């Protein structure tokens, strides 16, 4: 299989996911409360066997799941993705005891996970973390500080928390901790955000953690965070592609039936050319997402660059496609409850989280120049 062509079985699976999302997940999503964890929806994702696949599938399968769900039910897509983002560090780097306690519960939907990296003054510059871990005895620490813009906070059952264990060491002095939500000194506040999924802030007041809570190795947590993001960045792009495709599908249906100027909207060259451009950019983003995911699955050396390119192109493309879809639908698309009104709110956040577009451009440039320098050093 190449990165640019899906097998018939994969295409059938994507169609099955869209059907399941419409029949089983969309009704539960509609019953949820914006800004709150929809536990019934999370449980159903586990019942359908989608959450367990977070721990058994590769990056391409993750992208196919996210894209397929996003075309039909963005709430289900986001609930799935946040479970994976919060639990992947534990699955990939955690101790046997950590995995045994939490991974099965994440997989069946009985526990909600969260990835706690960003802070009020450390968003794009993730190495500038100020949440600090002070030694408490020979093998323990106390966490003091804040986290902000944390998806699923403050309702998650546990958090993968990144804290500074060695002052002044930059990225090399960060440790990942698994922190259950019921630890003394840990409190949270929900934030009222544009996007409908839950986002909150966390406050750590000397929260106790021990060596058993370390995910990976002390002072190596930044690698845990970046490894997780390298996996999930292409799939953020897949989420964006799914939204773009949903907007494109709606636009094709609308312009084919809407009467205007003695014909259908699609008969106007300005409209048909715009729809063609929307389709072109969506497909280009989709192919780059698949290529980046395949590179990750194959262990390619250029995964950071490919992942950054995929997220950047796909999220910027989705913003463009949804905006154009709104324009071609007119005022009806701005009415509360319309699919495009929903997508218009959803599509903005992915250009910011898991590394803003500007950060992705920085990663791409850094990796390009790294390759140039390596070529010079090798004398080729």
The catalytic position among 44, 77, 316, 354 is: 354
pTM: 0.91
Q: What does the pLDDT average to over 170-193?
A: 94
Beta bridge partners of 173: none
Q: Is 75 tagged catalytic?
A: no
Mean pLDDT over residues 29-39, rounded?
94
Residue whose C-alpha is closest to residue 107's, from 28, 50, 39? 50
pLDDT at 3 over 60: no
Q: Residue 126 CB: number of other CB atoms within 10 A?
A: 19
- Residue linked to tokens 């192109």: 313
Q: What tens digit of pLDDT does each residue of 267-302 get?
A: 999 999 999 999 999 999 999 999 999 999 999 989
For residue 182, is pLDDT > 90? yes
Q: In angstroms, what is the C-alpha Rg of the chain? A: 21
Residue 303 tokens, joined: 């995964």
Task: Tell me the per-residue pLDDT of 113-166, one tens digit each, with 9 for 90 and over.
Answer: 999 999 988 766 766 788 999 999 878 999 999 999 999 999 999 999 999 999
Pairing of strands 113-116, 132-135: unpaired
Helix then strand count (H, E) for the chain reads 11, 10
Per-residue pLDDT tens digits for 200-234: 999 999 999 999 999 999 999 999 999 998 889 89
- Give pLDDT tens digits for 332-380: 999 999 999 999 999 999 999 888 999 999 999 999 999 888 777 776 5
Q: Mean of the pLDDT values across residues 40-65?
A: 96
Q: Which of 167, 94, 101, 89 is nearest to 130 (CA)?
A: 167
Complete domains list, the chain, with CATH: 8-108 (1.10.540.10), 113-219 (2.40.110.10), 223-377 (1.20.140.10)
Tell me the three state secondary structure of residue 148. Answer: strand
pLDDT of amino acid 1: 41
CB 336 within 8 A of CB 289: no
**pLDDT exceeds 60 at position 2:** no
- ∠ CA 325-233-6, nearest 5°, is 70
Q: By the 8 A CB rule, do 144 and 204 touch?
A: yes
């Amino acid at each position: 299989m190449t990165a640019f062509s899906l097998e018939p079985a994969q295409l059938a699976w994507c169609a099955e996911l869209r059907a399941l999302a419409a029949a089983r997940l969309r009704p539960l999503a509609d019953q949820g409360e914006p800004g709150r964890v929809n536990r019934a929806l999370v449980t159903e994702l586990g019942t359908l066997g989608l959450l367990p696949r977070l721990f058994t599938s590769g990056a391409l399968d993750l992208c196919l799941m996210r894209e397929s769900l996003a075309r039909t039910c963005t709430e289900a897509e986001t609930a799935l993705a946040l479970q994976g983002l919060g639990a992947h560090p534990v699955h990939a780097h955690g101790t046997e005891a950590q995995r045994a306690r939490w991974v099965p519960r994440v997989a069946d939907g009985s526990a909600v996970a969260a990835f706690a990296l960003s802070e009020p003054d450390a968003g794009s510059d993730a190495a500038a973390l100020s949440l600090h871990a002070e030694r408490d005895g020979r093998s323990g620490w106390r966490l003091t500080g804040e986290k902000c813009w944390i998806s699923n906070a403050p309702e998650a059952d546990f958090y993968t928390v990144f804290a500074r264990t060695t002052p002044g060491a930059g990225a090399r002095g960060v440790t990942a901790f698994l922190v259950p939500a019921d630890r003394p000194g840990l409190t949270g506040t929900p934030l009222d955000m544009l996007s409908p999924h839950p986002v909150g802030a966390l406050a750590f007041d000397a929260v106790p953690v021990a060596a058993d809570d370390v995910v990976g190795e002390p002072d190596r947590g930044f690698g845990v965070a970046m490894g997780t993001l390298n996996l999930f960045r292409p799939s953020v792009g897949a989420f964006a592609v799914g939204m773009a495709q949903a907007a494109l599908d709606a636009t094709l249906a609308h312009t084919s039936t809407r009467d205007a100027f003695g014909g259908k909207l699609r008969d106007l060259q300005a409209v048909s050319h715009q729809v063609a451009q929307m389709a072109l950019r969506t497909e280009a983003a989709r192919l780059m997402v698949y290529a980046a995911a395949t590179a990750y699955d194959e262990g390619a050396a250029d995964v950071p660059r490919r992942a950054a390119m995929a997220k950047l192109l796909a999220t910027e493309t989705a913003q463009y496609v949804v905006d154009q879809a709104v324009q071609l639908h007119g005022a009806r698309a701005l009415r509360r409850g319309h699919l495009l009104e929903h997508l218009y709110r959803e599509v903005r956040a992915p250009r910011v989280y898991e590394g803003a577009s500007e950060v992705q451009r920085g990663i791409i440039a850094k990796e390009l120049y790294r390759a140039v320098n390596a070529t010079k050093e090798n004398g080729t």
